Amino acid sequence: MFKIFAAICFVNIGAMDQTLCFKSQVPVQFKDFSECNLAVDRIVNYMHEDLQERKVSIVFRCHNALEQTYATTISK
């Protein structure tokens, strides 16, 4: 089973122009990587323009649900 993990970043927040990032996951499981990756493509296509206008970035990654790691985690 695979899940979509995400890092959501808000760019240039406040007077100090800070970037704030949060880790999250989509609460849906997929039977294989291909199905998960197709869902990511659909989400990205749906959200891209709106996120760009709001200066928000989201990095999506499909990963084995049992390992529960994020893109910023180095697994051994």
pLDDT tens for 14-42 read: 888 888 889 999 999 999 999 999 999 99
Six token digits for residue 71: 């893109």
Residue type, 69: T
Residue type, 30: F
Q: In whole angstroms, how far apart are CA 22 and each of 35, 63, 71?
A: 25, 17, 12
Phi and psi angles of residue 42, each rounded to the nearest 5 degrees, phi first: -65, -40
Nearest to 5 by CA among 22, 21, 20, 26: 26
- Point out the least confidently predicted range of 15-19, 43-47, 67-71: 67-71
For the entire predicted model, the pTM comes to: 0.71
Q: Where are the alpha helices (DSSP H) in the chain?
A: 33-53
